[in-house]
Amino acid sequence: MPVNHYEVKNSYVKDIFKLDTPNTTYCIGIVDEGYVGHIYYGKKIEDPGIEHILRIDEMPWVPSKNNRDKSSFLDSFPMEFPTHGIGDYREDCLSVESSGGNFAVGLIYDSYEIINGKNKISGLPSTFGSDKDVTSLVIHCIDEPLKLSIDLIYSVFEDLDVITRSVKVTNNSKDSVFLKKIYSACLDMDNDDFVAVTLHGSWARERHMVESEVNRARVSIDSTRGESSHQMNPFLMIKNADATDESGEVYAMNFVYSGNFHASVAEDQFGQIRMLMGINSEDFKWKLREGDTFEAPEVVMVYSSFGTGHMTRTFHDLYRKHLIRSPYKDKKRPILINNWEATYFDFNEEKLISIAREASKLGIEMLVMDDGWFGHREDDNTSLGDWIVNEEKLKGGLKYLADEVNKLGMKFGIWFEPEMVSPLSDLYREHPDWAIAIPGRVPTLSRNQYVLDITREEVRDYVYESVAKVLRSANIEYVKWDMNRQLSDIGSVSLPKERMGELFHRYVLGVYDLQERLISEFPNLLLENCSGGGARFDPGMLFYGPQIWCSDDTDAVERLIIQEGTALVYPLSSMGAHVSDCPNHTVGRVTPFETRGHVALAGTFGYELDVTKIPKEDKDMIPSQTKMYHKYNDLVREGDYYRVASYSKNGQYDCYGVVSKDKKEALYTYVQVMMRPNYHSRKIKFKGLDPKRNYKIEGEDRTYTGEILMNAGYLVKNMWGDFKSCLIHIMEAD
């Protein structure tokens, strides 16, 4: 059984809950006074007799024995879900504002339940699994004075080293209470020389890996922007300072949520650390009337004693099998060509059809019409909200265009930015109060647009219907759902003042509701999420669409760093990656067309250029690139990802690979970012192969054992020039 309960006799610890995954164990202890303590998370152990780890014998202040310094106990005891204002001065997970205006809340064990499978979290995305895949533990707790019931929910995956956590709070009192803060997960343990790894960035520079020492200065990441953000991803990992890709302990948390978040880790006065993750409490306040329940989003926790590589592959497997629902999740995605970098706003139906005609001859399978097809949108100053086809631009209308594209044997896709409104739009003229704003304050513009108040049902209905109407009008098989600005000036005319602190979270629930409606009505739609590039690259969005546009930066070299950070957590099958034209529109760099193709192969693969205009030698390469995609995509999409070398660390070259689950095939990508004069070839030690197997490398006659390729290495010849790349395709020898 993955979840077990043990009663402990003659001990301060009364109950132990032991949660086991294939390689890990998590232990919770209920103590005399009913506090829910965290005993252990780490390598798998069989024996549940580990209550000594709670250090009770060292504590002079255990309340049931000596209550004179209860706060000293509370301020050091490892808690599963620390609460505010009762004497634990470390960062906590839950605080309230009671009807009396007080902030304190406690959490005392009441009972437990073990459930086969996993319950849904209402209105929110979450991982899923059958009764065989997952077992859940619910620890029911109460705060007696406030009459709150607080459920700590843990789900344990049978085949993966994953434990998910979420929390549910119900108000059983006649008086309303406000939640001022509710995080979803906490992890208390000793500091074992940990460094934190987080994913930081900006527009066009998303998810660069950053390491920070874990000590008394808090490592804290967050978003207050209403989306998960370009700047910080809702992912926090700590690892031993000497951990590598294959060795050392790693603890990671990833938030299945697409809005404001907070995660942190800091050491306390006793050298213990506390790692937390949840909805950001800034600008958050949620009213619970009698009988109301609040469900906090899910945190996915992964522990690996085999270094970061195992953590990464665990996340990839979990998200591919137990989070992404799209019918495309195990399928090749059509190779698309998107007209954004090809034309920006300057296109008409003829231009698009000419791109499609040329593209169809080269093996490209879908045309995606990006921004600029609706209202009067000739630049980014107008028309968001008016989702009516501009028939002056697209003569014959959308159906004609989609049909013409279909006649070429290609699918047709379209861009939307449903959550937004331009001040210059019919929608805004008619409903100025539909934009998020504060009465009496002119809201801040961003990209000359406002955010629609999709916390309101009538606004959501309008948004949904205007998108769905377009989709019903033609054969549209793909949608790129964009979101190009962050939220500000938080105010809604429909929320009473005591509920204004609910707006940020209600906004995210609104996004999820819209996307759920979309995929329910159009179940075969390929949905790619996007937010000014990759500002909403999070597990929440993967519940609705199988892929997310990784970054507006399509430069092959920049992408090495962005894709490395992204692939640390998210599967390659989810990373939107395209070959674009050079000089690159974001950085001006010129890289070989071949390298751009090799780098895009690590993601969903597509094109973002004017195929009627690019140099002939580049265009001539497209048929072989599209073949390359078909040859390798099953492997890239479904295989195990291994990081061999990082350009972000060595400044010279990058190497990563994907190995099939049966270890019979592997594909390694090597990018020589900088040429080294007068050096020997580069020795690369592959990872993930079967040491005992014999392998062949495509294009060579000899065979190698896996052991040789991984331990002695393989020699990659120097290539003439910078930004050169090659693929190394390894297959089991007969």
- Complex with ligand GLA: residue 380 or 690, whichever CB lies closer: 380
- Positions of E strands within 145-205: 148-157, 162-171, 177-190, 194-200
Cβ within 8 Å of residue 668, ≥6 positions away:
644, 655, 656, 657, 684, 686, 727, 728, 730
Instruction: Give the pair of three-digit tokens for residue 152.
Output: 């700590």
- Complex with ligand GLA: residue 321 or 536, whichever CB lies closer: 536
- Complex with ligand GLA: residue 151 or 482, whichever CB lies closer: 482
Instruction: Give the pair of three-digit tokens for residue 717.
Output: 């010849």
Strand order in the sheet with 640-645: 640-645, 653-659, 665-672, 724-732, 694-697, 703-705
Q: What's the chain's Rg over C-alpha atoms?
A: 27
Least distance (Å) from ligand GLA to the CB of residue 336?
Answer: 12
Least distance (Å) from ligand GLA to the CB of residue 396?
Answer: 23
Least distance (Å) from ligand GLA to the CB of residue 552?
Answer: 5
Other Cβ atoms closer than 10 A to 637: 22
Can you tell me whether residue 466 is helix, strand or coil? helix
Which residue is at the shortest CB distance from ligand GLA?
371
Cα 81 from Cα 36, distance rounded (Å): 7
3-state SS string over 135-151?
EEEEEEEEECCCCEEEE
- Complex with ligand GLA: residue 503 or 609, whichever CB lies closer: 609
Omega into 78 within 30° of 0, i.e. cis? Answer: no
Least distance (Å) from ligand GLA to the CB of residue 275?
Answer: 32
Least distance (Å) from ligand GLA to the CB of residue 608?
Answer: 8
Least distance (Å) from ligand GLA to the CB of residue 439?
Answer: 30
Least distance (Å) from ligand GLA to the CB of residue 414?
Answer: 11
- Complex with ligand GLA: residue 454 or 530, whichever CB lies closer: 530
- Complex with ligand GLA: residue 20 or 608, whichever CB lies closer: 608
Instruction: Give the pair of three-digit tokens for residue 65.
Output: 């024995």
Instruction: Give the pair of three-digit tokens for residue 200.
Output: 């930081």
- Complex with ligand GLA: residue 371 or 654, whichever CB lies closer: 371
Least distance (Å) from ligand GLA to the CB of residue 585?
Answer: 11
Is 242 part of the annotated catalytic residue set? no
Q: What is the residue type of 350? A: E
- Complex with ligand GLA: residue 223 or 312, whichever CB lies closer: 223
404: Cα within 13 Å, side-chain hemisphere: 17
Q: Which residues bind ligand GLA (CB under 6 A)?
A: 340, 370-371, 380, 415, 482, 484, 530, 532-533, 549, 552
- Complex with ligand GLA: residue 338 or 633, whichever CB lies closer: 338
Cα angle 623-715-567, degrees, rounded to a multiple of 5 = 60
Complete DSSP assignment for 32-93? TT--EEEEEEEE--S----GGGG-GGG-TT-TTT-GGGHHHHHTTS-BSS-BSSSS--S--S
Least distance (Å) from ligand GLA to the CB of residue 513?
Answer: 23
CB-CB contact of 626 with 335 (8 Å): yes
Q: What is the residue type of 475? A: N
Among 521, 421, 425, 510, residue whose Cα is nearest residue 468 = 521
Q: How far is CA 684 from CA 303, 307, 651, 709, in A?
A: 28, 19, 16, 8
Instruction: Give the pair of three-digit tokens for residue 141.
Output: 């707790």
Cα 639 from Cα 633, distance rounded (Å): 10
Least distance (Å) from ligand GLA to the CB of residue 416?
Answer: 10
Cα 378 from Cα 418, distance rounded (Å): 18
CB-CB contact of 221 with 603 (8 Å): no
> Which H helix or E strand runs over 468?
helix 457-472
Is 453 part of the annotated catalytic residue set? no
Instruction: Give the pair of three-digit tokens for residue 332.
Output: 């090749």
Cβ within 8 Å of residue 454, ≥6 positions away:
419, 460, 463, 507, 510, 511, 514
Please tell me which residue in 552, 555, 618, 654 is annotated as part of the active site.
552
CB-CB contact of 671 with 595 (8 Å): yes
Least distance (Å) from ligand GLA to the CB of residue 374?
Answer: 12
Sole residue written with tokens 């019919």: 426
Cα 159 from Cα 317, distance rounded (Å): 10
- Complex with ligand GLA: residue 530 or 658, whichever CB lies closer: 530
Sole residue written with tokens 């331990």: 711
- Complex with ligand GLA: residue 155 or 554, whichever CB lies closer: 554
Can you tell me whether residue 347 is helix, strand or coil? coil
Cα 686 from Cα 666, distance rounded (Å): 10
**Beta 714-716 vs 653-659: how paired, if at all?**
unpaired
- The dihedrals phi and psi of 311, each to the nearest 5 degrees, come to -60, -50
DSSP bridge pairs for 181? 95
Least distance (Å) from ligand GLA to the CB of residue 237?
Answer: 27
Least distance (Å) from ligand GLA to the CB of residue 418?
Answer: 13
Cα 30 from Cα 17, distance rounded (Å): 8
- Complex with ligand GLA: residue 319 or 340, whichever CB lies closer: 340
Can you tell me whether residue 510 is helix, strand or coil? helix
- Complex with ligand GLA: residue 258 or 484, whichever CB lies closer: 484
Q: What is the residue type of 195? A: V
Please tell me which residue in 482, 538, 555, 640 is annotated as part of the active site.
482
Catalytic positions, written as ranges: 482, 552
